[in-house]
Structure 1
Amino acid sequence: MTLVRPPSSVDVAVIGAGAAGIAAARRLARSDLSVVVLEARDRIGGRAHTLLREGHALDLGCGWLHSADENPLAQMVEPEGLTIDRTPPPWESQAFDHEMTSAEQAEFGAAFAAFEGRVAEAAARGEEGPASRLFEPDCRWNPRIDAISGALNGARFAEVSIRDYDAYRDTGVNWRVIEGYGRLVERLGARLPVATHCAVSRIDRSGPVLRLETAKGAVEARAVIFTLPTDLIAAGVVRFDPPLPDLMEAAASLPLGLASKLHMTVTGAEDFPKDSQLWGRADTAETGGYHLRPFGRPMIEAWFGGDIARQLEAEGEAAFFAFAADELAHLLGSSFRKRIAPAAASMWGADPWSRGAYSHALPGKAGDRARLKAPVENRLFTAGEATSEVFYGTAHGAWLEGGRAAREALAALGLDPGPAPGDDEA
């Protein structure tokens, strides 16, 4: 339920109505505590956001139930009246041989697997540094590997910690929600007490209760669960008095990379195999990945990560379509330009309440995920995808961390925190 104004006093205030904030609030709602969720945007969901275009639900943010066999959100899809699609992901099915022959595709697959093997071996030896240090010198596939990093991390491997990249856990099971991942997260938060248009600007820690200054007045709370993206924390969008330099430094070590999506309609889509993929170029990381006919729809979903995403965002939304049209025309023929049209694009870097897509640890900073989520005075608890040490960058990582923060808050307030992750909320 949407609140016109937040209450002036609660037991727990949750800042942010993304996946982490919603998970925390749902867990707290099962207690006798009073709770409010304070959200700066005019909607809930955070970086999970679904739009309806051309009669289809299009995810501008997270779209895949990664590690779906152990992803708690996957178990909530059907009970919420939504539909799971278990079609294998497009990265397992290369369309055509326009950019690379079958032999080259196999060669690239082997090169990427060997790179990840070197990362795992280095991490096991306790080594740290930029993951790009483990590129094979002069390997022709290094630019393509960096393009993959743009999709996975929102940044090139030169900006990504060896140990942090290796720590990510992926079971290899990837599903989708036909009606949209953002729609799922929205439904999960629909019955919570959320005050929208209610940005928090300051948290006063000087007294026995925390005092939050918001766009709709002051709120006092015995505990706060803080779920802002790391770039907002590091920039001091919410001011702490007294300051919390350790929290801000940890957030700065876990910056948000940028991964941008462009959804396009396409005529004559039956020419393409369903749920297959093309990449634009193999000789540069500044290229796009193209998911052809997602869900069998007459559409293309383009991905741009890292440097190219930031460059295109700086030029404006139309630049994404211009770039995609050029690459697809190069791959599929000049006449292909006439068959596509833009439907929707994400601009997470320009979004003032995100400033990016998902976090990566800078080289040497893998341990800062644990540092970021360390409780402050046993009454301020930070959660989000960036505090997840094995599922960072994902909605379910944020969800699990929101549940963890809620249990910490319950314990701090003298209540039974309930079971650890694996219960129906976390």
Structure 2
Amino acid sequence: MRHAEILENIVASIQSCMPSGKDFIALHEPSFKGNEWSYVKECLDTGWVSSVGKYVDRFEEMLREYTGVKRAVAVVNGTAALHICLKLVGVERGDEVLLPALTFIATANAVSYCEAVPHFVDSSHLTMGVDPFKLDAYLHDITVVKGGVCYNKETGRRIKAIVPMHTFGHPVDLDPLMEVCQRFRLELIEDAAESLGSFYKGCHTGNVGRVSALSFNGNKIMTTGGGGAILTNDEMLGRLAKHLTTTAKLPHKWEFNHDQIGYNYRMPNLNAALGCAQLEQLPDFLQEKRALARTYQKTFARIEGVTFFAEPDFAQSNYWLNAIQVSPKYSRLRDEILQVTNERGLMTRPVWKLLCDLPMYANAPKMDLSVARELERTVINIPSSSCLGAIYV
């Protein structure tokens, strides 16, 4: 089949899954069809719009119940959640923190906020997240564990933690990754920013790591406008997370006593009100998104040169962002697909540039990244809004 014909078939396949009569289809847009107006208006009417109010407590409780964790702490955004997660497990200045090279910049930036050093690891073809088996072999070669602490033999620095990210909502294979963490004495922090509504072997993401981070940015499966949350099954860490994110202020009716350096990372009541209304609709969002994913998967099964990225057998994905992967033999098509789709009003995007190739992280330690580099040059995100799947439910 000719190059131009393959390109047109791929673009036409995306178009065929879209509703007719629209000049522009966004990559991912929020859906407001529940109690958003009512809850936000209540905040405005009562004046409770800032960091104190009933919706913050209610939102945290709803998150706790849905995900199954013991404690959820709402914060201002997902990056802040990651920052505090790293602080909670004891990441300090000069430590190394393992994280995928293929992730959003926030994962590495949060490490930098702690004055720690990102150490980039490779991805798996199965999940697009951290490959626990390749990582195990790599750490066996470059580390030594002394006194219960993992050290990088090449840099001499302590390797304190790993932050796997559930890419586009597809859960990382967590069981073997936990074995790696136990073997090399690493703290596990789940970057679950993209995976609200995703389950690993029947358990919601965010339950395996000692602490985990969610994001509710405007493009996520549900949104608080801007916002995030810290999840944990450690009650003590949950209390500490709440304390640190509320400026480490000691409770008192009028005195301003703070017992350590804290952070003003509190989620405003206004945002939490929006989040409560969105969480009420999450089951519908998930049903619609999975219906869209099934449609894409069926459509692309017949198309040469491309495959739809589907959830692994051990997981149930929220399919936050749907993705197609161009066959390596046709990898030069990637940029042409991006150009043609965007010209036709279909918003598509490449995956992130590998973080180790950004100037501020160019000298950071890294392992062989051959799979991540292949994914970088072949994966395309395609329209994924929940409303697009409503016609297939």
Shared topology, TM-score over 0.5?
A: no
Task: Please identify which structure carries the higher helix content.
Answer: 2
Query: Structure 2 length normalisation: TM-score?
Result: 0.29
